[in-house]
Homo-oligomer: A and B are copies of this chain.
Amino acid sequence: MSTIKRLLIGKPISSADADHQRISKTIGLAVFSSDAISSTAYATGEILLVLVGAAGMTYGNGSKTTDLLIPLAIMVAVLLALVVNSYRETIHAYPDGGGAYVVSRENLGETPSLVAGASLLIDYVLTVSVSIAAGVLAMYSAFPSLKEYRVFICLGFVLLLTIGNLRGVKESGRFFAIPTYVYIIMLGAFLGFGIYQHFAGTLHVFDATTAEAQAQIKEIQEVHGPFLGFVGIFIFARAFASGAVALSGVEAISNGIPAFRKPTSKNAAQTLGWMASILGLSFLGISFIAVWMKPIPSESESALSTMGREIFGNGTVMYYLLQFSTMAILVLAANTAYADFPRLAAIIGKDGFLPRQFAARGDRLVFSNGVLILAAAASLLIIVFGGDVSALIPLYAVGVFTSFTLSQTGMVRHHLKERQPRWQLSVVNSTLGGIATFIVAGVVIISKFAIGAWVVVVLIPIVVVAFKGVSRHYKSVGRQLSVAPGPEAPPLKTGAVVLVGSVNRSALMALRYARSLHAHDLVAISVAIDDDHTERLRQQWIDFGITVELNILDSPYRDLTSTVLAYLDELDRNWGHDYISVIIPEAVVPHWWQSIFHNQSALALKVRLLNRRDTVVVSVPYHLADDETLEPGPALSKPKSGATLTEARQPPGEPYAGYT
A483 touches B505 (CB 8 A): yes
Is A1 an interface position by the 8 A CB rule?
no
With A597-B356, A652-B475 known as contacts, the answer to whether A645 contacts B489 (CB < 8 A) is yes
User: Which stretch in A245-253, A286-294, A389-397, A509-517 binds the other chain?
Assistant: A509-517
B627 touches A16 (CB 8 A): no
**A284 to B: closest C-beta gap in Å:** 47
User: What interface size band does chain A fall in?
Assistant: 35 or more
The listed residue (B492, B512, B598, B601) touching A491 by CB distance below 8 A is: B512
Q: Which chain B residue shows the least CB distance to A517?
A: B517
User: Which stretch in A108-116, A132-140, A429-437, A576-584 binds the other chain?
Assistant: A576-584
A485 touches B619 (CB 8 A): no
User: Which stretch in A45-53, A232-240, A540-548 binds the other chain?
Assistant: A540-548
B356 touches A660 (CB 8 A): yes
User: Which stretch in A120-128, A333-341, A551-559 binds the other chain?
Assistant: A551-559
Residues from chain B with a CB closer than 8 A to the CB of A229 are none
B660 touches A357 (CB 8 A): yes
User: Which stretch in A196-204, A419-427, A632-640 binds the other chain?
Assistant: A632-640
B492 touches A504 (CB 8 A): no
With A644-B490, A650-B482 known as contacts, the answer to whether A610 contacts B624 (CB < 8 A) is no
B658 touches A487 (CB 8 A): no
A640 touches B577 (CB 8 A): yes
User: Which stretch in A31-39, A460-468, A586-594 binds the other chain?
Assistant: A586-594
Is A63 an interface position by the 8 A CB rule?
no
With A15-B556, A479-B628 known as contacts, the answer to whether A474 contacts B621 (CB < 8 A) is no
A655 touches B363 (CB 8 A): no
How far is it, in angstroms, between the C-alpha of A660 and the C-alpha of B360 when the chains are bound?
Answer: 9
State the oligomeric state as a number of copies.
Answer: 2
B576 touches A640 (CB 8 A): yes
Is A14 an interface position by the 8 A CB rule?
yes
Give A586-614 as 1s and 0s: 1 = Cβ < 8 Å from B's Cβ atoms. 11110000101110110000000011111
Q: Which chain B residue shows the least CB distance to A482?
A: B650
Is A484 an interface position by the 8 A CB rule?
yes
**A367 to B: closest C-beta gap in Å:** 11
Residues from chain B with a CB closer than 8 A to the CB of A490 are 641, 643-644
Name 25 interchain pairs, CB-CB below 8 A, sorted by A: A15-B558, A357-B660, A474-B597, A477-B589, A477-B656, A478-B652, A478-B654, A480-B624, A480-B632, A481-B505, A481-B622, A482-B652, A482-B654, A484-B646, A484-B650, A485-B646, A489-B645, A492-B639, A493-B641, A578-B635, A579-B635, A613-B623, A614-B635, A617-B621, A618-B619
Residues of A at the B interface (CB closer than 8 Å) are: 12-16, 352, 355-357, 360-361, 363, 470, 473-494, 503-506, 508, 512-513, 515-518, 540, 543-547, 556-559, 576-579, 581, 586-589, 594, 596-598, 600-601, 610-625, 627-628, 632-635, 639-641, 643-650, 652-656, 658, 660
9 closest A-B pairs by CB: A486-B646, A491-B516, A489-B645, A481-B504, A356-B660, A482-B650, A14-B556, A478-B656, A476-B628
**Sample of 14 further A-B pairs with CB below 8 A, known A482-B652, A494-B516:** A14-B556, A15-B556, A16-B556, A356-B660, A478-B656, A479-B650, A481-B624, A484-B648, A487-B545, A488-B545, A489-B643, A492-B639, A493-B640, A615-B621
